[in-house]
């Protein structure tokens, strides 16, 4: 597995052009030339611009381009032509339209998110020096984890979303307690627009996470707009948002890391007439350059930007017919183990959190197994109903 080389263009007046096989990034502070062959992804932040010639050159060379608004919301993504096969995408569409399978996958997504949220709050409790405050955080961690068992009783997607919302309320109260004595306090989660400094950072880091998940989904030949927990809606990257759910608590932990160490201060933000608060050019630099802090993956520790790289590698292993669980198992969960246990096939939900092979790996694994069976039987069709029996 290798690191993905991602270029972040953050300056407001920066302009990305293509010159003789290289990306030329020009700004009032100067210019820099970057060979396209050395780039895997290009992320344009805020008011930075990119020419159509540069976009075309990136697409021709397999470089994914993403543009984010100041608050971190994804403005657009441009990817090379989708790889994979039509049977895999058809299986994804049919699974998303099947209420039973969609419900099972939604349960798995939320179970993974709640598991990570509980772990993060438990870590905050362990690091807290005030015994009374530590006990309070530990209690909130247990309350979040207790919601996982309730997912087995959920009969509709709306019920699952209600459980997730209830756990999120407890989680953000814990986040407020953690940052109560920090220079940047947090009272409540606000979006569109973010109303305070911490919410601005949470939204921005979440946007970076979603762009990575979009790239991971597209690299497997799946449609990032066809999700399960996040129902399909025009313009929404639903499947990428599903994959991002389990990592949200870890990105929040990263934001707390920045706030506690005073990596960001009020000068890193700017206010808009509508009451929104956003990171300015210098403020957007810190989350990008500080993201090299290590997070666990199995017995090893990997930088945060490799989470999605790890996911993509396991997806590729599954699509190729290998075993996505052959990698060292991470200490945090994702959706794949729950799906691999049979949840996508319509069996009962056990509430067990899943691991890092994710939705795409299970879809790819099931469809690839069926394709091998089809080739053996000289069949051409790959109905999703048969494909998912192999999970």
Tell me the binding residues for Mn(2+). 164, 230, 245
C-alpha distances in Å from residue 301, one per residue of 33, 298, 328, 365, 372 = 32, 8, 11, 27, 36
Q: Name residue, tokens 């919301």.
A: 73
Tell me how far apart the alpha carbons of residues 246 and 282 are, in angstroms, rounded to a whole number: 28
- The answer to whether the CB of 6 falls within 8 A of the CB of 45 is no
Cα 213 from chain centroid? 5
- The answer to whether the CB of 44 falls within 8 A of the CB of 50 is yes
Tell me how far apart the alpha carbons of residues 310 and 123 are, in angstroms, rounded to a whole number: 23
Tell me how far apart the alpha carbons of residues 73 and 63 are, in angstroms, rounded to a whole number: 20
Tell me how far apart the alpha carbons of residues 292 and 227 are, in angstroms, rounded to a whole number: 29
Query: For 20-151, where are the E strands, in sequence order?
Result: 22-27, 30-35, 41-45, 49-50, 64-68, 74-78
Binding residues: 164, 230, 245
C-alpha distances in Å from residue 74, one per residue of 65, 68, 109, 224, 237 = 11, 5, 21, 13, 9
Cα 391 from chain centroid? 23
> Shortest CA distance to 53 belongs to which of 36, 38, 37?
36
């Amino acid at each position: 597995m290798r690191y993905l080389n991602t270029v972040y263009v953050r300056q407001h007046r920066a302009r990305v052009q293509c010159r003789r096989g290289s990306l030329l990034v020009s700004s009032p502070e100067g210019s820099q030339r970057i060979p396209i062959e050395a780039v895997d992804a290009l992320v344009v932040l805020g008011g930075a611009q990119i020419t159509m010639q540069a976009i075309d050159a990136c697409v021709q060379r397999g470089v994914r381009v993403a543009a984010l608004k100041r608050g971190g919301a994804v403005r657009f993504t441009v990817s090379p032509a989708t790889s994979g096969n039509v049977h895999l995408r058809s299986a994804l569409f049919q699974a998303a339209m099947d209420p039973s399978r969609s419900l099972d996958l939604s349960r798995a997504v939320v179970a993974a998110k709640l598991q990570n949220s509980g772990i993060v709050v438990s870590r905050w409790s362990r690091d807290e020096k005030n015994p009374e405050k530590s006990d309070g955080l530990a209690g909130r961690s247990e309350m979040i984890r207790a919601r996982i068992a309730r997912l087995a009783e959920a009969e509709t997607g709306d019920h699952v979303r209600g459980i997730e919302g209830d756990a999120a309320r407890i989680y953000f109260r814990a986040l407020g307690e953690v940052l109560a004595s920090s220079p940047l306090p947090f009272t409540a989660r606000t979006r569109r627009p973010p109303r305070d400094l911490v919410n601005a950072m949470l939204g921005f880091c979440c946007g970076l996470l979603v762009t990575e998940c979009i790239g991971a989904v597209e690299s497997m030949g799946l449609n990032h707009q066809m999700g399960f927990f996040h129902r399909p809606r025009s313009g929404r990257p639903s499947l990428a948002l599903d994959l991002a759910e389990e990592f949200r608590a870890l990105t929040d932990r990263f934001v707390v890391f920045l706030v506690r160490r005073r990596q960001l201060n009020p000068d890193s933000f700017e206010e808009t007439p509508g009451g929104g608060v956003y990171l300015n050019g210098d403020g957007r630099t810190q989350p990008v350059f500080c993201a090299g802090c290590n997070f666990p993956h199995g017995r090893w520790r990997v930088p945060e930007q490799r989470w999605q790289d790890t996911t993509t590698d396991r997806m590729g292993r599954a699509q190729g017919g290998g075993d996505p669980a052959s990698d060292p198992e991470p200490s945090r969960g994702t959706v794949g183990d729950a799906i691999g246990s049979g949840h996508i096939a319509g069996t009962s939900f056990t509430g067990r959190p899943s691991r890092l092979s994710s939705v795409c790996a299970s879809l790819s694994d099931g469809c690839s197994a069926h394709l091998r069976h089809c080739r053996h039987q000289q069949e051409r069709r790959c109905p999703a109903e048969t494909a998912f029996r192999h999970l």
